[in-house]
Each structure stands twice: as structure tokens, then as C-alpha cells.
Structure 1
Amino acid sequence: MTGERGTVLVTGFDPFDGYSVNPALLVATALHRRQVARCHIVGAELPTVFATALQRLDQLLARYRPVLVICLGLAAGRATLRLERVAINRDDARRPDNSGAQPTGQAVIDGAPSAYLSTLPLEAMQRAMTAAGVPTDTSQSAGSFVCNHVFFGLMHRLATNPELQGARGGFVHLPLLLGQGRPCMPLTQMVHGIRTGIRVALNIPHQTQAADDAHI
């Protein structure tokens, strides 16, 4: 469509850990086919499975070649939207994924750097999302479950795949939905926060962030 700047990919995981729904997937679905800052949003589902989550992400990246990628996950027990700063090259699951796999002490990608930083403008996003009435903070650790697995895999692909040159990406953890437990947040508020963050990220020039241990 004339005037469009590209595609934004927003992913959310399927339900896991006994929850019947995953707010991350609901937010991604709610944003699907919307437009922000002249970019078309594609919302897509990822499996909460170490062995196949990155395969599905690779399919989505190849199909859409997005200019911006935001992967979403659930962090029960948190009251805010949490912008993740660091992805580590380590799988160390404290519980099984949806296939029953529970890797411990394994690299996400053999031979890759030990960590990557998000390339999203986190501070600007946090300010705008908070000002929009959505409690938001930043975090130095995305854990070591499938969320971090996907976050690290995404950042490695953005750093090494020439077809994705210039694209930015990162990960955001969400709280529980109303009715799932406490603390929690309404779905509409989460959607508003992520959409606000997307707009900020699209309107701020790219800033390269190194992915070596000296910056962690």
C-alpha cells in the first residue's frame, strides 16, 4: 500500500504452565492488521517449545522481513509491562516447556555471543508507555526459559542475517490478565501500552547497541 513504511512483527506464545490463555498471544492477536506510524502490524503465535519456537520465528522473519520485531511473553507475579534489556545465550529451564523438554545449562546457539542487548529505544518507550497510563519498567534479565530463548534467537538473527539488516527488535514481558490472578492488568491496557511502544520505536532513529560482554 502506498505510503507504508514496512511491517512490524509482534509475537505471543501459546498458553503454558497451567494457564488457559496467554496474555502475550491475546495482545499479539489484538494488534494483528492494525497500523502504527504507517507500518502494518502482523501478530503471530509462537509455541512455548524450545525445539520449535525459533523455527516458527524464522518462518515469520523470512515471510515478512519486518522493520521491527517485538516478542511478548508472560511474567506471572509482575504488575507492569517489563521491557527486557538483555538476552543471554543460555537455556536453563526450571520447568518443562509444552513438549515436556527441560534443557539445563545449554547454549541457545552454539558459537554465538554470550549475550545481546535489545535494540529497542527502551527508555523512550518506557516514558511514553507510562505517560499513556500503562505501568512499565525495564529489566536486566529475561530469564532462561523459552522467552529468553526466543529473545536471544531473535537478536542473533537480526545481528547476522543480511536480509534483516536495519531491523530492530526486543522482548516485553506482560503481567497476568484480569481474572488470572494478581497482580494483573486489563487486556486493553496492555494492548494500548504495546501499541504506544511500537509507535515510539518506529519514530526514533536506529541506535546501534553492541552485543558483547563489555556492555552487559
Structure 2
Amino acid sequence: MTAPRLLLCGFGSFPAAPLNPSAAVIATLAREAWAPPGAEVDYLTLPVQWQGAAETILRQVQDRPADGVLVVGVAVEAETFRVETQGRNCASRDRPDQAGRVWGSPLVADAGEEVIAATAPCQAMASALETEGLPVALSEDAGDYLCNFTLYRLLHAKAAPRVGFLHVPQARECAAAAAFDLAQIRQAVTAAAAAFCAELTRPVAEPHTA
């Protein structure tokens, strides 16, 4: 049996987070070629761009299909880790991306559903973080910036059988007042990714839309 493959992605810098802990952790794990037992992991760092982030992932999975895609992003003001349970068809029209561009529509996809449920094993991921002693919540609101935008685009495009998103708080190495350090961010990402990989051989439930 072929080992399941997870594509693990983090975001680069953007105006609110010149140093993004998701990119820092993903870069470290990629250098170490980290993967949970019995699984393969590919890595990407995404540009924080309305036209670029999702496209980078879609090109990757076209060339190298993945059984699951887990995107990690930073919620700068968050005090807990958040496993996003759905993508919403909404986008900010006045928040510029790292390239200074704004999205011209209040929708991610004009013909898309209002909400698409994440196909990742959200509860298993949250439970894995709880086991590590990290504060975690299941979230129904990934915001209106690139995190929600990318999650929704991937779900809408059915980029992989399972697609999910983990929001991490800012790290002390990036902002002195932050509650967590990069070691804890890494702990959360690897716990979530390992739980995700453990579920990749199980049948995926049909996502619901609203």
C-alpha cells in the first residue's frame, strides 16, 4: 500500500505579520524532511497574494497529487490555536495583500456555495493539540483575508480528498508580547499534521454545503 501524502503549507510575510511563524515552522520542518511514521509530507511556502496563494497549491497538486492538504496561517491577535472547520465565500475588498493588491469582489467565487465544510479530520487535529497541552478551539470563521480565501478556494476546487486549515498565534520570536514561542508553534503543527496523516487512509465523508 502506498504511503499517504500530505501537502503542508505555510504563508510568507504580509503587512500585519512581517515575520510569519507559519512560514518559519514550515521551513524548518522542510529542511528536516519531517514526516510522521507511515506518511509522506511535501512542503510549500505560499505568497500572501489574492492571486497566487491558492494557485501555488493547485499547481503543486496537479504535478504531485496529495491525499490531503493542510494550510497553516497566523492569526496575529489570537491567544489560542484554531482548527478551521469551514471556508466561507466572502473576502475583504479593502485589505491589500503583500503585493499591495486588493480583491475586487466580496466573494471568493461568484458561483460558489456560501459555506463549504473542511474535509480535514478537524476533531482529530484539535484532540491532538489538546493532548499536547496546547489551547485549541474548533472555529467556524477563518476571517475575510487570505486564510479563509485560500481554504475556500481549495475546497471549492477539490484540490485534494481532504483539505484543512490550522490557525496559529503569533510567536515570541516574531513579536515580543506573543504568548507562544516557535517551539510551541512547531509542536502544534506537527501534532495536527500527524493526526491528519493518521486519518488519510480512512474514507472521507461527503462535505456539506450551505
TM over 0.5: yes
- Following superposition, the deviation at residue 209 of structure 1 comes to 4.4
Residue 25 of structure 2: aligned partner: 27
Identity of aligned residues (%): 22
Structure 1 runs (4+) deviating above 6 angstroms are none
The residue matched to 1:176 in structure 2 has which SS? coil
Residue 178 of structure 1: aligned partner: 172
AA paired with 1:114? E
AA paired with 2:207? A
| 1:76-95 correspondence runs (5 A) | 76-95=76-95
What is the RMSD of the two structures over their aligned residues, measured on CA atoms?
Answer: 1.9
Stretch of structure 1 that moved more, 201-210 or 144-153: 201-210
Unaligned runs of 5+ in 1: none
Q: 1:94 to 1:183 in 2, by over 3 A?
A: farther
1:78–1:183 contact (8 Å) kept in structure 2:
no
Residue 132 of structure 2: aligned partner: 132
- Following superposition, the deviation at residue 30 of structure 1 comes to 2.3
Residue 119 of structure 1: aligned partner: 119
Which residue among 188, 191, 201 is the counterpart of 1:193? 188
The residue matched to 1:177 in structure 2 has which SS? coil
Provide the rounded CA distance (Å) in 1 between the counterparts of 2:111 and 2:141.
21
AA paired with 1:191? R
Provide the rounded CA distance (Å) in 2 between the counterparts of 1:79 and 1:117.
24
Provide the rounded CA distance (Å) in 1 between the counterparts of 2:58 and 2:182.
27
Matching of residue 102 in structure 1 with residue 102 in structure 2: yes
Q: State TM-score, norm by structure 1.
A: 0.86
| 1:44-83 correspondence runs (5 A) | 44-83=44-83
Provide the rounded CA distance (Å) in 2 between the counterparts of 1:24 and 1:63.
24
2:108–2:153 contact (8 Å) kept in structure 1:
yes
Provide the rounded CA distance (Å) in 1 between the counterparts of 2:142 and 2:26.
19
- Following superposition, the deviation at residue 80 of structure 1 comes to 1.8
Stretch of structure 1 that moved more, 168-177 or 17-26: 17-26
Provide the rounded CA distance (Å) in 2 between the counterparts of 1:91 and 1:190.
26
Provide the rounded CA distance (Å) in 1 between the counterparts of 2:171 and 2:27.
15
Q: State TM-score, norm by structure 2.
A: 0.88
